[in-house]
Amino acid sequence: MEGLIAIGLLMLLMIIGVPVAWSFAGVLAYMAYVYDANLNTLMLQGYRSVDSVILIALPLFVLTGYLMQSGGIARRLVDFIEVMIGKRRGGMGASMVMASGIFGAIAGTATAAVASIGTIMIGPLEQRGYPRSYSSALLGISSLLGILIPPSITMILFAVVTRQSVAACFAASIGPAILLMLGLIIANRIGVGRFFNEVSSAAGKGFEPLPGKGRATIKAVPALSLPVIILGGIYGGVFTPTEAAAVAAFSAMLIGFFIYRDLNLKSFAKSVVAAAETTGTVILILLFSFMIGRILAAERIPQDLTEMVTTLIENPLLILIVVNLFLIVAGMIMDDVSVTVVVAPLFLPLMVDTGIHPVHFASIVACSVVIGANSPPVAPILYMACRIGRVSIHKTVKPALALMAFVGMPVMLITTFVPELSLFLPRWLGFL
């Protein structure tokens, strides 16, 4: 019961505006008081948990995302995809979805994708007849492909807090990511002409001439090489995910400084500071969550939760539905980091007892974040997309809910009830 009260307290603190890291500190204080825990011992255990080689990848991937934004890499990716598919019906919307996916395959974060892709594409989409409310909703959901497509910071955190293979968690989310990307592209194509019209004279009038495609491809080759190097290196056994993060950051620096030349010392310094601020917040959250986790483990709260749920609900399918709903509600109020480091470990014993593989559960958690992060009342990613798109959240909620109902929820249900979608690739690659 105390564990559920702690989660409720965390949600309450975040709703009233307490910064995320200090919300976790408040929950830790409550848990330490209730269970009379020794804070000195907890601090030492928390420090040892944060002192992880795997977590070195976190600041490096965050830095890569900021360098992509300031170094011109994101813009070249968008230009390349727009030239390739932008003139077809629904092509501009599909371009944003594809750009978010490729961006996610390099940077691994949703917020960086919202800022980078949204800044570049919202204006051109409006010129093509896309309402800003719809474009912002599509941006919010497609940016979360960065959580599903490896290398994903969310999957790194899930692997750390649940002690799973990072590479296996990366591979598990690829299937749901492809499904979500295809679903968004199809939904966007259906929406064009029914709910709004593309007004550009170029829409639907053939393809870009080969010389134009060639120029865009040549300019995009350095940017497109990044996901190939990162993912090929990880799954080819050339380097670990942590080493891949270092390669990604170093490559983004080289491309930004010497190839595209959009990156200068001033913008590089801003990127480093922004990455440090983001990383510091996440590390504080992790530190407090590890300390909370120690208390929960010592008091056997996850096991008690498992016994309570299995006593009340015997059907494994209903248990999965209840957990999915809880994850979505948690995602509505908390960010993806909070859901991953607190809720996921709490429910992992229940999922294992129900017969769900921990790596499969990683995909379920990631899919729930896609829905929760775009659902009011908090909807952190959707609010950010609205700020980038300069549109009211009230106008964006309707198209966002429609995309989540017809794309996000089906993808989450398929991921939940078709385990092979998540487990086939990790098994084929030898991670399970």
From residue 360, how far is each of 170, 235, 331, 415 by CA, in Å?
A: 11, 18, 18, 8
Is residue 176 pLDDT above 90, yes or no?
A: yes
- What's the rounded mean pLDDT across residues 345-352? 85
With residue 106 as reference, give the H or E element that holds it: helix 91-107
Q: What is the pLDDT of residue 227?
A: 79
Buried b (16+ CB within 10 A) or exposed e, 80-113: bbbbbbbbbebbbbbbbbbbbbbbbbbbbbbbbb
- What's the rounded mean pLDDT across residues 31-44? 83
Residues 6+ away with beta carbon under 8 Å from 412 = 324, 364, 367, 368, 370, 371
Q: What is the pLDDT of residue 422?
A: 93
Is residue 43 pLDDT above 80, yes or no?
A: yes
Is residue 242 pLDDT above 70, yes or no?
A: yes
Is residue 332 pLDDT above 50, yes or no?
A: yes
Query: Is the distance from CB of 83 to CB of 216 less than 8 angstroms?
Result: yes
Q: Which one has a higher pLDDT value, 85 or 243? A: 243
Helix, strand, coil percentages (3-state) for the chain, rounded to 5, are 80, 0, 20
pLDDT category at 245 given cuts 50, 70, 90 is: confident
pLDDT category at 269 given cuts 50, 70, 90 is: very high
What number of residues does the chain have?
A: 432
Which amino acid is residue 381, in one-letter code? Answer: I
Residue-wise DSSP of 236-264: TTSS-HHHHHHHHHHHHHHIIIIIS----
pLDDT tens, position by position, 365-410: 888 887 887 777 667 788 778 888 888 888 888 888 889 889 989 9
Q: Which of 89, 112, 91, 85 is nearest to 100 (CA)?
A: 112
- What's the rounded mean pLDDT across residues 57-71? 82
C-alpha–C-alpha distance, residues 157 and 152, integer Å: 9
Cα radius of gyration (the chain): 21
pLDDT tens, position by position, 417-430: 999 999 999 999 88
From residue 358, how far is each of 172, 334, 339, 422 by CA, in Å?
A: 10, 22, 15, 11
DSSP secondary structure code for residue 54 in this structure: G
C-alpha–C-alpha distance, residues 211 and 384, integer Å: 37
Query: Is the distance from CB of 117 to CB of 259 less than 8 angstroms?
Result: no
Q: Which of 13-27, 180-194, 402-416 has the lowest mean pLDDT?
A: 13-27
Q: What is the pLDDT of residue 206?
A: 46
- What's the rounded mean pLDDT across residues 144-156? 84
Query: Is the distance from CB of 152 to CB of 173 less than 8 angstroms?
Result: yes
Q: What is the pLDDT of residue 87?
A: 66
Which amino acid is residue 245, in one-letter code? Answer: A
Q: Which of 409, 396, 402 is nearest to 134 (CA)?
A: 396
Q: What is the pLDDT of residue 3?
A: 61
pLDDT tens, position by position, 119-145: 778 888 888 888 888 988 998 888 888
C-alpha–C-alpha distance, residues 251 and 71, integer Å: 11
Average pLDDT score, the chain: 81
Q: What is the pLDDT of residue 202?
A: 46
For residue 307, what are its two tokens?
């016994």
Is residue 203 pLDDT above 50, yes or no?
A: no
